[in-house]
Structure formats: structure tokens, C-alpha cells
Amino acid sequence: MARKDELGKLGEEQAARFLERAGYTILTRNWRCAHGEIDLVAQRGAAVVFVEVKTRSSLGFGHPFEAITVKKLARMRRLAAAWCVQAERWPRQIRIDVIAVIALTGREPVIEHLEGVF
Amino acid sequence: MGVARTHAVALLGLTGALVEVEADISAQLPGMILIGLPDAALAQATQRVRAAAANSGCPLTVHRLTINLSPAALPKHGAGFDLAIALACLAADSTVSSQSVGKVVHFGELALDGRLRPTPGILPGVMTAARLGHSTVMVPIGNEAEAKLVPDIRVVGVASLRDAAIWHGARLSPEPVEPILPAVLPSSPTAEPDLADVIGNDDAILALQIAAAGGHHVFLLGPPGAGKTMLAARLPGLLPDLDPASSLEVSSLRSLSGLGLGGALITRPPWEAPHHTATAAAMVGGGGAQIRPGAASQASHGVLFLDEAPEFASPVLDALRQPLESGWISIHRANAVAHFPARFQLVMAANPCPCGQYGANDLSCTCPPNARRRYLARISGPLLDRIDIQLNVKRITAAQLRLAAASPRVTSVSARQRVITARAAAGERLHGTPWALNSQVPGPWLRGAKVRLAPATTAGLDRALERGGITMRGYDRVLRIAWTLADFDGLTSPGPDQVGQALYLRKGMSS
């Protein structure tokens, strides 16, 4: 496994634990289809949340949030619809969130969560 | 998240409006949105500000910044809002004190390394801030001297965004940078050409002094080589120094056109000589998004010289009729109206015909009569009507050249002294009226009970009117020149000599 994939895995793990602590139930992790992948699908109350997790081990290439483009958000929107069809679930409310995990070496990772970015 | 606001100035013509720059941080993906009618240069401020802030050691927030320029409906242009935008963003993020930022009006364009570039239009901008009751402005260090010309306002010159942030309470250590200074260094006042250089042409020298004393517009007609341009170039040197109000106006116009002022107000009357291919927009000002002053405004309180006047496109010449009448140019666009001052003294020079030789003593004209007539007819009657002094300038002869060496000549300094005295006399007589110079006085007032001349004095002029040699409008113009001649000669009112001389200065080419 490449170093960057390992970092990504670590970040997703951290993000999932963060959501669970915040009262979410994780429905799926790394859900894939022909169009791409959703990092996390979680639920709290009536809302189903699709989460993109971005992990960085340094800020040399900018903040993780800066790596999230309009194109990526548009894909998330399509994937969310695809997930609903495949899972046959029609939630009352859906949301697209972004979680940044900044895991500087030798320090406790910092997690930032933005709700409803699309 | 945070909201902060500060101030900047949007210029429209010479008048400015205060613009509130508000920045809001919302929990969203990184982004920077600029709203409030920015033009292309201003809309790109987001990229300049982000890079400049990062390179100054105080990066902007990673969340979404919404920047509003209020009043939102007022069009804004130029890069002069960069500093205000950057500081509002930093204040919204609590990097700098939002209280401190809110009390200052900011000017300046940012370079990507965070330094501040000199910005055009600082003088009128700071004047606007002062007029609207603001006590402190922050400007790029390269504009500090110019901003300090405005009285009663505290000017803070900063070299970089880092310095500006430190001034507003950011916890950063100062980092000296090489300041960006204006490209045009303060030029030493160029010597104005001296009247003593002119040989012969005594009538023209007198006419020039009279024009300076009374503020009369001048038309010089003569063959090539007669010295028309040489004479016209000496007119600004005869005019008195600008008074404080007009000096500020002239300096503001210069600042607005992006030419540096150095550290001093302009005190000598400007001289503008646009080429005859100038367009109407170049002459009176114009432009799409940003309305800029033209040559006529740049010549305000000074001299606008049109060499080879018949070669100008006639719409360009006729565009000058409005400013000649009102002293203002108003340029209307779909979203705004800009007003520029244009109280210039017009000097036109022309050859009498296309070949230029008509009326010359030494060569004969080769133009057919109708070509000759058409040539001067390109200057429209209504424009010519507004010109008081119309004079024929002759080539000098060898005899005049020899005589000139022996006879004393008038220098610009002594002529200017007489002009100042004459203007003071006119000002005293016109005290309590809306006018200050003889050229501004309307005919009915001159013929009115208060200053009417005795019939014996105006006998020659009345005869010219009877014979149809001059029109009634021309009659008034002769009276005006006669009064200026009297002021110039130190008389309390014109006598028959002055009226005769005035008639001569008027009769150069038309009635």
C-alpha cells in the first residue's frame, strides 16, 4: 500500500470516529460504483450525509479544503443519487459534508468539519 | 464566524464617494467572492489579496470570504481597493483589530509579495475622505507625499500589507521591504519659455498680454513661420500663479490621469496642446467603465492650444462649445455621470488657407478662392463667436529683425506683473458680481448704466456697427477687450484709444 493511501485510510478512520462521537451512525465506508467512490455515508436523525474526507500530513500544498473543487462536489452530488438508487433508500434530507484531517507527524490529528457545502 | 468593515473611496470624475468594504467569513469551502459592481481590474483583487496576504505572513482564512462593496449599485473600478479588501478580510478573521480598521480609509493596490504599489487618483480620493469627515487615511508609501497635500487629515504611509496589519494591531514582527515608489519622479518645474524671445510682432505680444489679463480666448491667424506656435507657448508664462482652490483642482486632475505629483501641488497654469488628430473622447474625456478626463479638462485653469485648428475634426471642435460656455464637462454613461472642470483659456492657431501663403507679403497664395473659404469655414461660427481676440500674425521682415536688436523687449516676468495688476483692477471693479475676469462679463452689463462708456468714447465702434463692419455680439466683445486694455494701462475706464485698439484686436479675420 502506498504511503498516500495509508494516510487516506488513517484519515477516513479518524473522520469516522469523529462522526460517531458526534452522534452519527456510519452506514457505509468507501462505497464504490462506476462513477467513483464516496468516503463515508452516515446518518443522524432524518438526514443522510455523504462525506468527502481529505487528509494531509503537512500544509505545504495548502489546506485540505482547498483541494475540494467544484467538479469534485458535482461528482459527489451524482454519487449521492446513485447510492440512494442502489441502497433503495429515499431519505427525507440529504447533505454533502467535507471533513479535513490534518495529521502532522508526531502530533494529534486536527479534524475540521464543514456541513452542507453543496 | 466574523464580519468586519472598513472604508475606501470610489472616484467618479473628480468627485468621490465613500465605499464601505465589508468582509464576512462563513463556514464553507475556501473561496473569495467579491460583490458590489467591481470592474475587471477590481474583480481580480481576490487573487492579488490572497497571494499578498499569504506572502505577508498573515494568510487569509481557509473558509469562504464574501466581500461586499457598498453602496452596491455604484460602479467601482481600479485596483485601489486592494488594501481595504485585505484588511477587512484580516479583521473578519481577527488577525487585525476590526475597530482600528473601521476608522481608517484605505487606498492602494497590492503586489503579490505584499508590497503596496502607488495608485492613481490619491489626491482627489483623500480630499473626498477629508470632506466626508474622516480623520485618518492609509496610503501606499509612494503616494504619501501626495496624500499629505490635503490639509487636516492624518496620513499613514505604509510600504507593505504586513506594515499595515502591524499598524492595525496584528501580532507580527516588522519586516523591512524595499518600498515601491512612483515611476515618475517629481520633475523639477520646467522653465516656461520667455516672451522676450519673440522678435517683432508687437501687436501679437500686446494681444497675448491682453488675453492673459482678461482671460480672453485667442485666435491667431497667419502664414507658416509667422511665430503663432511660439507666441501661444508663451501664454501660460504670462498667467499668474494658481490660487489654492484651482491648484488643488489641477493637481487632482493630474493625479487622476496617473501622472505623479511628487510632493508639491501644481502652482503654474497647465498647458495642453493636443494633436489635430485627437478624437472627441481625447478632447473632452470619456471611456467606458472608467471615465477619464480629456485634454480640455487637463488644461483647466491653464491654456488649451489647438495648433492647425481647421485640421481638427469639426465634431471635436464643437465638443468644446459646452465647456467654453459652462466651464464644466459632463460625460454621461448608462450607469453614471462624471463631471470634470474645464475652465481653460482657448488659443487656436491656423493658416489662412491650405497652402498657408494667403495674405503673406513675400509669397503668393496658390489656393483657389473656394478652397480658401472652405478651409476656415471648418471652424464653426458658434465656436468662433466665443473667441474675443482674433489676430493676424505676420512674418517678420529683415528690417524688423535689425530693429528688434536695438529696441527693448517685454519679458514674461514684467508682463506677468502687469497682468496681475490688471486682474486685480478688474476684480475690484467686478466685486459683488459673479464674474472675476473681463472675458466673463456679459454684454448687457457692459452696456448697462453702471459702466456705460460715453458716446464720444465709443464713436468709432458705433460707426463700425452702423456700417455693418461688426455685429452686435462683436460689439460686446470689443467692449470687453477695451476694458481689459484699460485695466492693463492702469486707467479707470477705457478711452477712445483703447476702444480703437480693441477693435483692431477683434478684426483679425471676421466681424
Please give the residue of chain B at the shortest CA–CA distance from A69. Answer: B29
The predicted pLDDT at position B510 comes to: 47
- Give tens-digit pLDDT for B155-180: 999 999 999 999 999 999 999 999 98
The DSSP call for residue B197 is: G
Residue-wise pLDDT tens for chain A (118 aa)?
678 888 888 899 999 999 999 999 999 999 998 889 999 999 998 899 999 999 998 888 888 888 888 899 999 999 999 999 999 988 888 999 999 999 888 888 899 999 888 6
- Give tens-digit pLDDT for B203-241: 889 999 999 999 999 999 988 888 899 999 999 999 999
Q: Is A98 on the interface with B (CB under 8 A)?
A: yes
CB-CB neighbors (< 8 A) of B27 in chain A: 114-115
The CATH classification number of B3-167 equals: 3.30.230.10
B62 and A98 in contact by Cβ < 8 A?
Answer: no
Place of cell 471611456: B287
SS3 state at A110: strand
The CATH classification number of B200-409 equals: 3.40.50.300
- C-alpha to C-alpha distance for B469 and B460, rounded to whole angstroms: 11
Which phi-psi region, left, alpha or beta, contains residue A11 (left: φ > 0; alpha: ψ -120 to 50)?
A: alpha
Do residues B85 and B42 lie in contact, with contact meaning Cβ atoms separated by under 8 Å?
no
- Give tens-digit pLDDT for A43-67: 998 899 999 999 998 888 888 888 8
CB-CB neighbors (< 8 A) of A65 in chain B: 29-30, 62-63
- Residue ranges of A 62-91 with Cβ closer than 8 A to chain B: 63, 65-66, 68, 73
Question: What dihedral do alpha carbons B51, A111, A69, A7 form, nearest 10°?
Answer: 100
Closest Cβ–Cβ partner in A63, A73, A117 for B62: A63
Q: What are the residue ranges in chain B where pLDDT is below 70?
A: 1, 183-190, 260, 262-263, 289, 507-511
Q: What are the domain boundaries of chain B?
A: 3-167, 200-409
The predicted pLDDT at position B433 comes to: 87
- The grid coordinates of residue B473 equal 455680439
Closest Cβ–Cβ partner in A63, A66, A117 for B28: A117
CB atoms within 10 A of CB B410: 18
The complex's ipTM?
Answer: 0.72
Q: Is A102 on the interface with B (CB under 8 A)?
A: no
The full DSSP string for B329-357 is: EEEE-SS-EEEEE--PEEEEEE-SSSSS-
Q: Which amino acid is at B477?
A: R
pTM exceeds 0.80 for this model: no
Q: Confirm or reject CATH 3.20.20.30 for domain A3-114, answering yes or no.
A: no
B interface residues, A as partner, C-beta within 8 Å? 27-30, 62-63
The predicted pLDDT at position B108 comes to: 94
Q: Which residues have CB under 8 Å from B437's CB, separation 6+?
A: B214, B215, B423, B426, B430
The full DSSP string for B91-135 is: HHTTSS-HHHHHT-EE--EEPTTSBEEP-TTHHHHHHHHHHTT--
Please give the residue of chain B at the shortest CA–CA distance from A98. Answer: B29
